[in-house]
């Protein structure tokens, strides 16, 4: 991706950015035996720093800190708008907590923001960084003209911040030989915000005698929007505000009990707050995935991919735009996922029994084959525990097969008679009606089914055009060239 705003930061520029942070320490005597004699001192990066990289791209700045200075990835968070770049960041093990940095308002405890924002509106991004930083440092790259030519209100505010709280270093055309080059002159802005101890807001309304009537505390009435995503985001925001308010009240309590109760450090309190907000956010992401039922109505492979994707994104801010973006990205890729799922289900079916494979003339390779019109599944029916049931390990395959058929036929899973339902109904009839035998054929929506005492289940396709469609889809998912039957 390069939209004329994405310029990966070269290593030499990152080195210039962090140079003032590098500390020289004396090597302890007990370590010197393992080091060359001349290493009485060594340079280190302050690894205790909690870092945010906004507009992180593919993580070049964090990569440099991890590779060069052994920085721990667990102490860094990222914000990145581009979906492909987010995937790269997550694959590297970085925690992505937001999409658009200008909309970011999470309360993660960070005390160093390292950034190479889009040059077009770097001033807005740097001001945003200043607004969310409780204390610590901001080191940001920008077009030198952003500082030299403060003709907008944002640039004027930024210039005043630099004058009062920081400095600027002009480094010339630092990207002229970079991976993605530009001849723009670049500046490094450094800002420092002091830590303010013991501050809290005494203007919190404390109605000592107020009580809440449960009957009047109607979240459903407050969350009137019909759209489930809007409702859940509104509910999340109220819960988040409540947690933050409780945290503020804890500060008030600590103020009035100082010297009486054990003291809690502000840093520990911020970590506890961040953990609570993370837990809340993860719970709401989990709930939105359950309510949308995307994962539940697809195959087990699709479901596993879906929940892995959900786990990767559980730190993302729970906003309407973010929720819709994540759901739409995954849903729009559903056809591709389902093709692969059908191929996986096809492989599972043909593994169960050699007779489930049929080599058909006209397919591209002799290694290519079709699933037979009757699927034989040995050792999937358990009748030795006192009643007939489908072995647990076979349940996913049976449900996946039905879901693949639903996808191909356009039916909703909840509207069909599944193999599992048909099996359970047949077992019930065996118990309740003596005229029904275990070996009698019974039907689901897509299959005629027989079961046998040895634990074998036979599934015969009722809809032969659907059987053909399943095989073609599986061949497509496996990149076979089939047809001609």
For residue 51, what are the contacts with CB-CB under 8 A and spacing of at least 6? 62, 65, 71, 75, 76, 77, 110, 112, 113, 114
pLDDT at 31 over 70: no
pTM of the model: 0.58
Sheet of strand 136-143: strand arrangement: 95-98, 76-79, 51-53, 112-115, 136-143, 186-193, 166-172
Instruction: Please state, in angstroms and as integers, the Cα–Cα distance from residue 227 to each residue in 64, 238, 287, 291, 372, following that order.
Output: 43, 17, 15, 12, 45
Band (220; pLDDT cuts 50, 70, 90): very low
Domains of the chain plus CATH, in order, are: 11-193 (3.40.50.150), 219-332 (no CATH), 336-477 (no CATH)
Where does 377-463 have alpha helices with state H? 395-409, 419-432
pLDDT at 108 over 90: no
Query: Between these two residues, 206 and 462, which has the higher pLDDT value?
Result: 462
Instruction: Please state, in angstroms and as integers, the Cα–Cα distance from residue 237 to each residue in 233, 328, 412, following that order.
Output: 6, 22, 34
418, 447 in Cβ contact below 8 A? no
Residue 350 in tokens: 């043909």
pLDDT at 204 over 50: no
Q: Report which of 401, 295, 418, 298 is spatially closest to residue 346, judged by C-alpha positions.
A: 401
Residue with tokens 């600027």: 168
How many other CB atoms sit within 10 Å of the CB of residue 102? 15
pLDDT at 21 over 60: yes
Residues 309-365: pLDDT tens digits?
A: 767 777 778 888 787 777 776 666 667 767 777 888 888 887 766 676 664 444 443
Helix 320-332 / helix 266-292 crossing angle, nearest 10 deg? 50
149, 138 in Cβ contact below 8 A? no
pLDDT at 80 over 70: yes
Give the residues across from 78 on adjacent strands: 53, 96
Residue with tokens 């599972």: 348
Residues 148-202: pLDDT tens digits?
A: 998 898 899 999 999 999 999 999 988 877 666 678 899 999 999 987 544 333 3
Residue with tokens 């195959």: 299
pLDDT at 92 over 90: yes
């Amino acid at each position: 991706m390069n939209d004329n705003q994405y310029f990966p930061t070269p290593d030499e520029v990152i080195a210039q950015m962090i140079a003032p942070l590098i500390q020289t320490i004396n090597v302890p005597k007990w370590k010197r035996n393992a080091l060359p004699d001349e290493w009485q001192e060594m340079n280190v990066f302050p690894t205790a720093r909690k870092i945010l990289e906004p507009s992180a791209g593919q993580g070049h700045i964090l990569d440099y800190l991890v590779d060069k200075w052994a920085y721990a990835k667990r102490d860094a968070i990222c914000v990145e708008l581009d979906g492909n770049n987010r995937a790269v960041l997550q694959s590297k093990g970085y925690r992505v907590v937001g999409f658009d940095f200008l909309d970011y308002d999470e309360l993660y405890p960070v005390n160093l923001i390292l950034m190479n924002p889009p040059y077009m509106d770097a001033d807005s991004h740097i001001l945003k960084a200043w607004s969310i930083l409780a204390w610590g440092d901001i080191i940001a790259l920008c077009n030198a003209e952003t500082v030299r030519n403060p003709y907008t209100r944002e640039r004027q505010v930024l210039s005043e911040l630099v004058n009062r709280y920081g400095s600027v270093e002009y480094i010339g055309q630092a990207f002229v030989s970079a991976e993605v080059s530009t001849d723009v002159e670049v500046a490094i802005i450094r800002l420092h915000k002091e830590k303010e101890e013991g501050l809290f807001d005494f203007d919190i309304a404390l109605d000592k005698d107020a009580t809440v009537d449960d009957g009047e505390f109607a979240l459903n009435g407050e969350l009137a929007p019909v759209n489930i995503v809007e409702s859940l985001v509104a509910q999340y925001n109220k819960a988040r505000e409540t947690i933050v308010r409780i945290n503020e009240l804890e500060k008030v309590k600590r103020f009035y009990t100082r010297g009486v109760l054990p003291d809690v450090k502000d840093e520990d309190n911020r970590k506890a707050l961040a953990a609570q907000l993370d837990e809340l956010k993860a719970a709401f992401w989990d709930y939105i995935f359950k309510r949308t039922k995307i994962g539940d109505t697809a195959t087990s492979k699709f479901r596993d991919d879906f929940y892995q994707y959900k786990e990767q994104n559980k730190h993302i801010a729970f906003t309407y735009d973010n929720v819709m973006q994540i759901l739409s990205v995954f849903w729009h890729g559903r056809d591709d996922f389902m093709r692969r799922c059908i191929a996986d289900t096809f492989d599972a079916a043909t593994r169960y029994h050699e007779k489930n494979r049929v080599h058909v003339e006209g397919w591209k390779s002799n290694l290519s084959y079709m699933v037979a019109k009757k699927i034989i599944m040995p050792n999937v029916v358990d009748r030795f525990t006192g009643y007939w049931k489908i072995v647990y390990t076979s349940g996913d395959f049976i449900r996946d097969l039905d879901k693949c058929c639903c996808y191909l036929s356009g039916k909703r899973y909840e509207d069909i008679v599944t193999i599992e339902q048909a099996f359970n109904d047949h077992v019930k009839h065996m118990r309740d009606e003596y005229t029904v035998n275990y070996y009698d054929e019974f039907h689901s929506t897509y299959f005629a089914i027989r079961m046998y005492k040895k634990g074998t289940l036979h599934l015969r396709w009722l809809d032969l055009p659907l059987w053909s469609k399943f095989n073609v889809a599986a061949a497509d998912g496996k990149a076979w060239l089939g047809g001609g039957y």
